[in-house]
Structure 1
Amino acid sequence: MPVLRLLLNGSVATLLMAAAALTATAQDSSLGPFPEGHVSASSRKLAPDAGPRQKYAIVIGNQSYSHAPQLPNAWNDALDVADLLAGQGYDVTLLKDASKRDFEGLMQRVLFDVDRETEVLFYYAGHGVQIGSENYLIPTDAQLDQVDDLPFETVSVGSLVSILGARARLQIVILDSCRNNPFAGVKLQDSLGPDVREVETGFASLAAPVNSYVVFSTSPGEVALDGAGDNSPFATAFLQAASLGSIPLTDVFDNVRRKVFVETEGVQVPWDSSTMVEDATIASVSATADTTAPTEDNGTSVARGLTLFAASSAELLPVDATLPTPDISIAAPLAPAVPIGATLAQDLALTPADTVGLAEPPRGGRLVLLDDQGLQSAPVFPLSASDLGRLGFAYVSGPTVSFGQDPVLKVQFKLDLNGAPKVVQVDLTPDPCDLAAADHLDPEGVGLARFANEIAPEAALLACQAAVAREPQNGRFHYQLGRAYAALRRHDEARTEWDTARKLGHSRASYAIGNAIVNEARETGGSALEAAPEEAMAYYREGVELGDPYAFYALGRQMVRFGKTGQDRLRGYDLLMRALEVGHTYAMNELGYFYLDEKSEYYDPARGLRYLNESAARGDIYGYNNLGLVYMNGLGGEKKDARLALDWFTKAADGGHPNAPGNIGTLIATGALGKKPDLGQAVEWFDKGLERGDANAGAYAAYLILTEGAGGLSPADAAYRAGRAAALRDKKSVERARKVLEALPTEAVDEASQRLLQALGADVTPDGAFGDSSKAAYQTLADQHGDTSVETDPVERLIDIARIHWSTTPFRVDLY
């Protein structure tokens, strides 16, 4: 399953990042306060000791479009810019003809590769358009022929700028785009409601996070020229101006503006926008390269540290891959950056006069130089013997690595020692804690991931306890230990670990703490969709500011569902849409629900179904369950299809979805599957749902037992299920369960109470006569659990005992 990235647009990001911290109280953003002890993004990004320690560049050339005109110079422009930047000390990632999924993978890589000590330069050559007030880059496979295509076919520039700005210390975004409008006249939805806007030529102006420099190759709303030579006029001017040495950023683009204006005879005028608060340059060394020299056909420019990123090179080699016999083998733990230089220097027996070149770059990662604090910079080959000692391998996260028995991830590259090639192999072994409990899209993760329903709790606990004991200052291990505790329903211990992870700078911990606050009532009361308390919202805001995709989703969902104003809902929608643009399945499910609500003014079935299908296509169990509901109930104009619904529900139930078992029970009980209902089988499925916190499943099972004698079960069996359902928090289901209890004889209700007391360890006999011994057992348990209101009414007493019972077996709220 792909690991995807959730983003925000530039305007919201600007508002979130502009405020400064207040003394002793939480800082306020445009969306509300942050949690106490929060440190603003600006403070993190602009630490006073030094500027960026790593220069990281992303260069994209989109030339060969499937459904739009070709751009003859885009690939040349990207190759030449990438080669120049590699020579200026940037660690360059180069993409050719990027599809929508390639962009999603790129966002994921940014999440892992970029930190607050990084300067990022993003260069894009290709088609781009304006829709409404937002700008969009066009992937090579984009096909815009339906009004709801926008988030699935394009990439929002605002999203891109926001994610870079949230992670990096400073960013330079260069858009050599708007070369024409390939979708003139097409109208698309780009807002919360049904309104559509026409695809316009050019780009609109753009708000950006602090310490950003955004450059457009032409003025807002205008067309940029592709050029008659090997490069566009803008790329030609940029290559020349950026080769002049270490001069201020503003001087570089002043030169570019003048050159482009003169060369195009005033037709094209580059435009820029800055929120820079630090001095910046592009060149870190005086450039000596001839920018007009031909570029290698394969575009790898390996001697200058350029990484060609494509689907075939984004993965590490599998453990059983056929590999050349290495000259040097290095075993290391899988980590964001692994020191390998000392071993290389020793095995190569270098003299001080030796230099080492790079004959072939690694797949699935890149080579970096590490300082004494572990911070990375791009190496410029050939390396001296002393510099080789600082060499490291930085793992580049690709698609989620599948889990096997003791997986070892292998990577090879080839060095050149005085003309002799040397094959180097690095075997990376994941930490057992990462294998057991790593999370998707964790900004400080290592690229491995398990959804909550995939965690084996006991194994994860042991692995992560060992990891924390070994590395107590590693926030990632504390966060993952918290996930293990949550899976074991040990929620207080989970919260403690997440608090520690947050203090150690782990971004995902803020979202986890927010969820822990929301889930406090769910632990013993089951699932219920409610507005998050303000304390949880504050932690979600902090996660948004730190660039965590799960926080974007969580905050957006709350604002769309429970926002008090239209502006709140628009902001929440914007957060969810940025998630959806990069494939975040939770946001897809939320927006699918949103648009399939027939009572809503925003009802749009085609749009809603598109979101759910996209989620299911990415393997999300909630997408599976939602599609099951569509075909069970005929939502969005779809025909009812019980067999298809059963298939979707079964896949969801197998993955741990809390409500899917109850939905299967409903299909069976109603006879929707086209045969006489097996009510006993239906009750079995309802019981599975009730154990996962589905109150509706418990109430339905109780009703079938009461009215139909389902499964040959007794009235006491009905009371046992109804009492447990009535102790949960789903209001409609609680009402149904109470109606069943009111229709049952007192003896059945009391016997159910006695069964629960017995399950709690009381020495009572379930006989339906709630006598002195049963009352004494109830009183004892109530005292033990701090229950001060002992009930005498049989129904209320059963529900109260059921609440105590649920408190001893809390739900897997990490699955809600």
Structure 2
Amino acid sequence: MPVLRILANGSVAALLLAAAATTATAQDSTLGPFPEGHVSASARKLAPVAAARQKYAIVIGNQAYAHAPQLPNAWNDALDVADLLAGQGYDVTLLKDASKRDFEGLMQRVLFDVDRDTEVLFYYAGHGVQIGSENYLIPTDAQLDQVDDLPFEAVSLGSLVSIVGARARWQIVILDSCRNNPFAGLKVQDSLGPDVREIETGFASLAAPVNSYVVFSTSPGEVALDGAGKNSPFATAFLQAAALGPVPVTDVFDAVRRKVFVETEGVQVPWDSSTMVEEASIASVPTTPDTTTAAEDNGTSVARGLTLFAASSAELLPIDAALPAPDIAIAAPLAPAVPIGATLAQKLAIAPTASVGLAEPPRGGRLVLLDDRGLQSAPIFPLSAQDLQRLAFAYVSGPTVSLGQDPVLKVQFKLDLNGTPRLVQVDLTPDPCDLQAADHLDPEGVGLARFANEIEPEAALQACQAAVAREPQNGRFHYQLGRAFAALRRYDEARAEWDTARKLGHSRASYAIGNAIVNEARETGGSAVVEAPEEALAYYREGVELGDPYAFYALGRQMVRFGKTGQDRLRGYDLLMRALEVGHTYAMNELGYFYLDEKSEYFDPTRGLRYLNESAARGDIYGYNNLGLVYMNGLGGQKKDAKAALDWFTKAADGGHPNAPGNIGTLIASGALGKKADLGKAVEWFDKGLERGDANAGAYAAYLILTEGAGGLSPADAAWRAGRAAALRDKKSVERARKVLEALPTEAVDEASQRLLQALGADVTPDGAFGEGSKAAYQAIATQHGVTDLETDPIERLIAIARIHWSTTPFRVDLY
């Protein structure tokens, strides 16, 4: 029995929304050079493959639209195609009536499930439209009634093809769409600027990565028929042609085109576009499935080979869950694929001639067969005793699993042994390194994740050093050890681990190295966004080619902010859109910032606020802080609301946002909360911000102490804060801090210098008299830290000592 997974409507959790990306991965190399040692995606795809590759299929049937005409045959078509592909050895994920969030979750799944040894087939039955030169798939909950709706309501086909193409060896994309245009005449924004384009019928031609075969059920700009029978004319022809056996894909679709043309009397002519440089086929074994059986309404029958799949990690039951006692229990470490077959064969006492069926599939993952290279394929039950030995459970990466104490993820499924069901339970224990330092949307991750502000540095260091010692060739552990070092501000060691992870093939490491290069100038320099040097951009480009959404965001942000031409900014926008397609909230915040910039030619407050609200709705601390700024300052025409701003800032500060404490301090000091400003409380919040590297918070606190005596603090207290702020990078805040220092008596400035020297280990008494003892201590500290030029001016001396102090206790630059 073939294994097939179903994702029912609403079952796929995701972090973010999607939008358009018009440029395919194959075009990314035109952006510039790659780092030394880079191997292009095309070269990887063409490298010899010694063993059979994983065959992975995604099948979507969108039928029950909330705001568009129903498509009676879409679900039948998808279900029959899924059955056909499952019977031919594909590992099939089937989505019924996929919403926008379902598509987001799907693209996240692709990151984890697809690699360079995977052949991917994507089939979509549902509404699709063309806007400008780009094509969009329409989720069942799409409601396009505003010009700025597109990124939040539709799915960019260009993004989908680019993301899959970056991960897979080759892809076949089949679009049985364009059945009609549910939004004819409506106009939406689909690019960087304010221009709107009409939603057109049909699909446009598509640029695709190398080794892509894209098939449209009808010619560009034309309408496909839904069909009067059980299936559409295209689906009927495809089911027949693909069932003939392992023949070249070009032969399959030549046959489909002829049949559809004849059956529709020339009304509909399927069309395809290919960048294939390898021969591809659909079927792996000759098979003749029955494509005439009526589709079952719930689509969960094991007899049809349909395995219920839930992407939410909630389906992996916690350790204290009430579960029936299993017949067989297996304990194993959590990994992308956990071998269980040998243990099952032993505990079941399987005879060499026996076979095992599947009575009830697992939730939260799938059963797969592993070959001698660790590559996965879908098992076809019943399994022989020999194939049972190769059985593994593949954990499905979803949203972040709750990170409790020693969590164990439990999975149950039932095997059929000679008509007797046997309940199997697999207890999966995550590696401590994954628990402590796994990253979000990491293509080589295991589905657990922590944002940088959530990492417990010492615990992560200990766990990941042990993991690397145990598995030195595991790139994931080296990457996560780098995250632990970064959280400890040990940046050279972090970079070394990321270099190792990159050499071992860990995709996210390229992005991390690019960020490390950018952050070298920010380790003691504050939060200012800087233009990345070419070396960092090269690593970002490599991450883009590897299909890493964080690299999409990083390179896109640089090009939008610092692009020299309009074309550069458009390219950056496309990359940000691709990041959004897989749920990257940082990209959403960046676009919110971009559209709310009143000095920009692209100022569009409605669009900007929409992005920020969507980010906050997904629990992003940066989205929280951005909305706090909107309500505090009345940005984008929004009415000022101090209480709402405080709520957003507090949520952001509690989550570790570096600027949110200073924003709370500003809100309190302004008196906007409707009562007398508690300046001492404001300074407390500013101090929290300064410790996180917020120069503005330090400068503001110093000013309040100087001018208002806030918190009963002294001029030396003001100098201590102003000196530390002036040693940071934020230019405007540095200017403010220097003005405070210039207004303070020399004794206060010198006392602040002595305090910092004392904090650095010098034996000095902070008394405001910077005598010979203090000068000697300054020289000793400077020499210890490699500083040769000593300052004599009190203000410059304080700032120089503050820079040394920051170098010993730098803030978390990975939070910016």
Answer yes or no: is the 8 Å Cα contact 2:310–2:364 preserved in 1.
Answer: no
Shift of 1:315: 3.0
- Quote the Cα distance in structure 1 between the aligned partners of 2:522 and 2:406: 36
- Quote the Cα distance in structure 2 between the aligned partners of 1:314 and 1:40: 38
Deviations 1:239-285 (A, max 9, x none): 00001111111000000000000000000000000011111111111
Q: Single out whichever of 798-807 and 575-584 deviates more from structure 2.
A: 575-584
Deviations 1:623-653 (A, max 9, x none): 0100000010000111111111011111111
Structure 2 residue aligned with 1:525: 525
Q: Which amino acid in structure 2 is aligned with residue 256 of structure 1?
A: V
Structure 1 residue aligned with 2:414: 414
Structure 2 residue aligned with 1:784: 784
Residue 396 (1) aligns with residue 396 (2): yes
Structure 1 residue aligned with 2:3: none
Answer yes or no: is the 8 Å Cα contact 2:189–2:195 preserved in 1.
Answer: yes
- Quote the Cα distance in structure 1 between the aligned partners of 2:649 and 2:655: 10
Q: State the SS of the aligned residue for 2:315.
A: coil
Structure 2 residue aligned with 1:444: 444
Residue 286 (1) aligns with residue 286 (2): yes
Answer yes or no: is the 8 Å Cα contact 1:314–1:397 preserved in 2.
Answer: no
- Quote the Cα distance in structure 2 between the aligned partners of 1:501 and 1:663: 37
Change (3 A) 1:388 1:305: farther
Q: State the SS of the aligned residue for 2:751.
A: helix
Q: Which amino acid in structure 1 is aligned with residue 230 of structure 2?
A: D
- Quote the Cα distance in structure 2 between the aligned partners of 1:187 and 1:491: 49
Structure 2 residue aligned with 1:676: 676
- Quote the Cα distance in structure 1 between the aligned partners of 2:494 and 2:307: 39
Alignment map for 1:489-638 (pairs within 5 Å): 489-638=489-638
Residue 173 (1) aligns with residue 173 (2): yes
Structure 1 residue aligned with 2:326: 326
Structure 2 residue aligned with 1:800: 800
Structure 2 residue aligned with 1:23: none
Size of the aligned set, in residue pairs, is 804
Deviations 1:111-166 (A, max 9, x none): 11111110000000000001111000011111111111111111110111011101
- Quote the Cα distance in structure 2 between the aligned partners of 1:150 and 1:792: 60
- Quote the Cα distance in structure 1 between the aligned partners of 2:659 and 2:577: 26
Identity of aligned residues (%): 89
- Quote the Cα distance in structure 2 between the aligned partners of 1:72 and 1:318: 40
Deviations 1:408-431 (A, max 9, x none): 111111111111111111111111
Change (3 A) 1:560 1:738: same
- Quote the Cα distance in structure 2 between the aligned partners of 1:596 and 1:151: 17
Q: State the SS of the aligned residue for 1:44.
A: helix
Q: State the SS of the aligned residue for 1:194.
A: coil
Q: Which amino acid in structure 1 is aligned with residue 367 of structure 2?
A: L
- Quote the Cα distance in structure 2 between the aligned partners of 1:150 and 1:297: 31
Residue 14 (1) aligns with residue 36 (2): no
Q: Which amino acid in structure 2 is aligned with residue 784 of structure 1?
A: Q
Q: Which amino acid in structure 2 is aligned with residue 603 of structure 1?
A: F
Deviations 1:681-710 (A, max 9, x none): 111111111111111111111111111111
Structure 1 residue aligned with 2:71: 71
Q: Which amino acid in structure 2 is aligned with residue 426 of structure 1?
A: V
Structure 2 residue aligned with 1:25: none
Answer yes or no: is the 8 Å Cα contact 1:10–1:161 preserved in 2.
Answer: no
- Quote the Cα distance in structure 2 between the aligned partners of 1:694 and 1:581: 31
Change (3 A) 1:10 1:245: farther
- Quote the Cα distance in structure 2 between the aligned partners of 1:527 and 1:809: 16
Structure 1 residue aligned with 2:764: 764
Q: Which amino acid in structure 1 is aligned with residue 536 of structure 2?
A: A
Structure 1 residue aligned with 2:80: 80
Normalised TM-score (structure 1): 0.97
Shift of 1:305: 5.1
Give structure 1 stretches of 5+ with no counterpart: 17-28
- Quote the Cα distance in structure 1 between the aligned partners of 2:308 and 2:32: 42
- Quote the Cα distance in structure 1 between the aligned partners of 2:98 and 2:322: 29
- Quote the Cα distance in structure 2 between the aligned partners of 1:148 and 1:353: 62
Aligned-residue Cα RMSD (Å) equals: 1.5
Alignment map for 1:95-494 (pairs within 5 Å): 95-300=95-300, 302=302, 306-309=306-309, 315-494=315-494
- Quote the Cα distance in structure 2 between the aligned partners of 1:761 and 1:154: 59
Change (3 A) 1:209 1:52: farther
Structure 2 residue aligned with 1:26: none
Q: Which amino acid in structure 1 is aligned with residue 56 of structure 2?
A: Y
Q: Which amino acid in structure 2 is aligned with residue 123 of structure 1?
A: Y
Q: State the SS of the aligned residue for 1:119.
A: strand
Q: Which amino acid in structure 1 is aligned with residue 664 of structure 2?
A: I
Q: State the SS of the aligned residue for 2:331.
A: strand
Change (3 A) 1:280 1:311: closer
Answer yes or no: is the 8 Å Cα contact 1:63–1:75 preserved in 2.
Answer: yes
Deviations 1:484-504 (A, max 9, x none): 111111111111111111111
Q: State the SS of the aligned residue for 2:185.
A: coil
Q: State the SS of the aligned residue for 2:229.
A: coil
Answer yes or no: is the 8 Å Cα contact 1:91–1:306 preserved in 2.
Answer: no
Answer yes or no: is the 8 Å Cα contact 1:7–1:547 preserved in 2.
Answer: no
Structure 2 residue aligned with 1:721: 721
Q: Which amino acid in structure 2 is aligned with residue 132 of structure 1?
A: G
Give structure 2 stretches of 5+ with no counterpart: 1-12
Normalised TM-score (structure 2): 0.97
Q: Which amino acid in structure 1 is aligned with residue 351 of structure 2?
A: T
Answer yes or no: is the 8 Å Cα contact 1:52–1:118 preserved in 2.
Answer: no
Answer yes or no: is the 8 Å Cα contact 2:173–2:215 preserved in 1.
Answer: yes
- Quote the Cα distance in structure 2 between the aligned partners of 1:807 and 1:118: 46
Q: Which amino acid in structure 1 is aligned with residue 634 of structure 2?
A: G
- Quote the Cα distance in structure 1 between the aligned partners of 2:733 and 2:221: 55
- Quote the Cα distance in structure 2 between the aligned partners of 1:482 and 1:439: 11
Structure 1 residue aligned with 2:7: none
Q: State the SS of the aligned residue for 1:272.
A: strand
Q: Which amino acid in structure 2 is aligned with residue 482 of structure 1?
A: G
Structure 2 residue aligned with 1:710: 710
Shift of 1:789: 1.3
Residue 651 (1) aligns with residue 663 (2): no
Q: Which amino acid in structure 2 is aligned with residue 597 of structure 1?
A: D
Alignment map for 1:43-58 (pairs within 5 Å): 43-50=43-50, 53-58=53-58
Structure 2 residue aligned with 1:24: none
Q: Which amino acid in structure 1 is aligned with residue 27 of structure 2?
A: L
